[in-house]
Structure 1
C-alpha cells in the first residue's frame, strides 16, 4: 500500500471525536486507508445486501452487533442508521468508536450535518499528491500530468485510459444516478468534456449553457453534483477592495489532471509537450497538489486567485493568519523576470498583511530573485521544504 500523508491527521481526529468520516472522490483509497489505520476494527460494508437489509430492518440490533471499534463502509446506503448512531455514541461516550466512509459524499454529508453535527471529525482523502507518488513516477512532468494521481493506476499498474474509462462509467452509473436523476448521460458527458477544456479558466455559466444546449440552472445544478463528488472545484476570487474593479467570477479546476487529459482525448504523454492548453493543465496540477497538502496536514489556509479590471492576475493566493502567499504558476522551463510583474503590483496594493512571493514553474532549478522564491515543480515532492505553508 502507498503510504498516505493524511494518516496522522485521521489518527488525531479519532482521538478528538467519537466518529471519523473519511470523505473524498471515488477510488481515492478511503476504505484502504481506514483498514490500514484501524487494523483491529471490525469492518462492514453496506454494499453487501444482507448487511444492508439487517441495518435497515433492525438498526438497533445492527449497532448492538457493531457497537464500537468498527468501520462502516457505504453508510449513506442506509440513511436511517444515522439517527440511531447519534443516540448510540451519546451513550457510549468513547472517541474513535466509528469510522465512516462512503462514495456518495453529498448523501454522506447531508446525513452527517442533520444527525451527527459536532460528533464527527471530517477528513478528506484526495487522489495521491506528488510527494505520495512512487519514486519512479515523479521525474517527467508530462507523464505525471497524463497519468493523474488515482492510487489504483500505480498499485495495480493499470493503463490510465483503462482506469479513467471504467471510472467514468462507474461514476455516471452509480454516483450520478443516486445524487440526481439525470436521464441523458451522453449530454452530461458532453458537459463534463466541455468543462475539461475550460480547466483553469474563469467560469462563464451562460457560455457553457449555450455550448451544451441546456439551461443556466441546469449548469449550476450539474456543477454542484461534480463539486459534491469531488470531481471539480471552484477557486474563488480575492475580493479585498484596492480601489480597483476586480473579477468576481470563480475559476474552474479538476481535482485530478489525469481525468482532464482523458476527457480531452489525449492518448499519450508526448502529446502534452506541444499541447496548446498545457499551461492550464500545469496550473491545475500545481493548485490541486497544494490543496491536497492543505487537507493532508490539517492546514487551515484559504485559497483564492486575483484579477483586476486591467487583466492583472495572480494565479493563486494562499491566505493564513496575517500572511498572504502570492503564487504565480508558469509551465515554462526557463525563468523570466516578467513572470513576477503582477506579484509586484499586488504586493504594493496589500498594506495590512505580510506578502510573500513565490513562482512555481516547469524548470528544474530553485532560485531566489529580488525577494521571490522561484521553485521547480519537482520540489513539490517535498513540499514542506518550500515553506509555502509556513
Structure 2
C-alpha cells in the first residue's frame, strides 16, 4: 500500500517549529507512527510497546534524555507516565523548539500528565483515520464510506479480511488496550454498549435509556461513554446555546466516529448491505461531520463543532464555529433538496443572524437554493478543496 499524504503533516511540522514538544494523539492504528517516521526519518524512534524500548527508557530516564536531548519520537508515551515529569525538567533546563514528538492513544493518564506537567510546553494534534479528502484520487476513495478510514483496512482487498480486521480491532481494544491503560471495564458490557450506539448514531443521546437496557446505573454508562470518547471511538456533539428567545435542546448527539466500525458493529458485512440499512442517512451524516471536523482542525484557529435544535424540533446538523464566525450546515443524503427540507436551516440563520448556510448533499454541482443558502456537493467536500469561510 502506497503512502497516503496526511493533511495534518504541515500543521504538525509548523507546531514543531513553535513548541519544544508536540503530542500527536488519535485512535490506535490510525497512522501516527507511519506519519512520524515519514516526517522525521532522522530522529530516534522508540515504541514503548516494545519491551526492549520500554526497558531502555525505564532504566534511567534522565540518563536517556542526557544522551538524547532532542530529535526523539516516543510512541505510546502513556505506557511510561514518569516520562512527562522528566521531560518538563529536560525542556526547562535547555529551551529550544522541535525537540520531542510524543505519540499516544488517549487515556486519562496521558491527558492528565500533559495538562498538569507539560502545560505551555507541548502542542496537541489529533490524527484521525484516513479522511475522504486524503483518499481522493486513489483507488480506495470509493471504499471510504462503507469501510471507514483505518489504514490497515485499506491495505486489505477482500471484504472478509477487512471484516476480520475490524472484529479483531474491537476485541483488542476492549480486551487488551483498555486494561493496559488501567481501565478494566467488563468487556461484554462495553461491546454490547458499543453495538447499541450504532442504533442511536446521529440521534440525541439518552443515557438513562441505555442504562435501563444494560441494567446498570446511568453513572456507569456515562463512565463507559467517557472511555469510548476519550479513545476517539465516539463523538458526543454538543448543542449550541445562544442568547435567543427559544428553548434549545440540552442533550448531545451521539456518533460512532469511524463508519467502518459503525457498519461492522451494526452487522453490515458487505457494501451492498448499506443500501437497505435504515441508518444509512445517519451514517452519511456522521461521515460528513468527521470530514468537516478534520478539515477545520488544520484550517481554522480553535474551531468548535455543535448542532442546533429547538424544543419545537427545528434542527441543523452542524454548526462550525471559529470565534464569532458561524457556518450552519445541513446534511442530506440524496441529490434532491427543496425549500421544505431546509426549514430548520433558515430558522437557525434567522435566530442567529447568519447570512449564509450550506446544505451538503450528493448533488453533482454547487448551486444556490435561496438567498444565503448553497447546496454543496459531497464530492467537493471529499476533494478537500472547499473553502469554509
TM-score band, normalised by shorter chain? over 0.9
Partner of 1:2: 4
Could you tell me the TM-score, scaled by structure 2's length?
0.94
SS at match of 2:302: coil
Q: Aligned-residue CA RMSD in angstroms?
A: 1.8
**Separation in 2, partners of 1:297, 1:370:** 27
Partner of 1:296: 298
**Separation in 2, partners of 1:16, 1:340:** 43
Pair 1:139–1:109, CA change in 2 (3 A): closer
**Separation in 1, partners of 2:199, 2:281:** 12
1:283 deviates by 0.7
1:180 deviates by 4.7
The farther-off stretch of 298-307 and 252-261 is 298-307
Gaps of 5+ in 1: none
SS at match of 2:128: coil
**Separation in 2, partners of 1:366, 1:109:** 41
SS at match of 1:84: helix
Pair 1:280–1:6, CA change in 2 (3 A): same
Pair 1:280–1:2, CA change in 2 (3 A): same
1:157 deviates by 4.0
**Separation in 2, partners of 1:149, 1:66:** 35
Matches within 5 A, 1:128-139: 128-133=130-135, 135-137=137-139
**Separation in 2, partners of 1:239, 1:250:** 12
Partner of 1:219: 221
SS at match of 2:288: helix
Q: Which runs of 4+ in 1 moved over 6 A?
A: none
1:373 deviates by 1.2
Pair 1:139–1:43, CA change in 2 (3 A): closer
**Separation in 2, partners of 1:218, 1:183:** 10
Post-superposition Cα deviations, 1:164-217, rounded to whole Å, max 9, x if no partner, equal 112112211232113454353111100110012111110001001011221111
1:287 deviates by 0.5
1:9 deviates by 0.2
Matches within 5 A, 1:68-79: 68-79=70-81
**Separation in 2, partners of 1:145, 1:38:** 31
1:329 deviates by 0.7
**Separation in 1, partners of 2:348, 2:75:** 47
**Separation in 1, partners of 2:4, 2:326:** 33
1:64 deviates by 2.2
Partner of 1:169: 171
Pair 1:116–1:271, CA change in 2 (3 A): same
SS at match of 1:333: coil
The farther-off stretch of 130-139 and 317-326 is 130-139
1:355 deviates by 3.4
**Separation in 2, partners of 1:31, 1:17:** 20
Partner of 1:258: 260
1:52 aligns with 2:54: yes
Could you tell me the TM-score, scaled by structure 1's length?
0.94
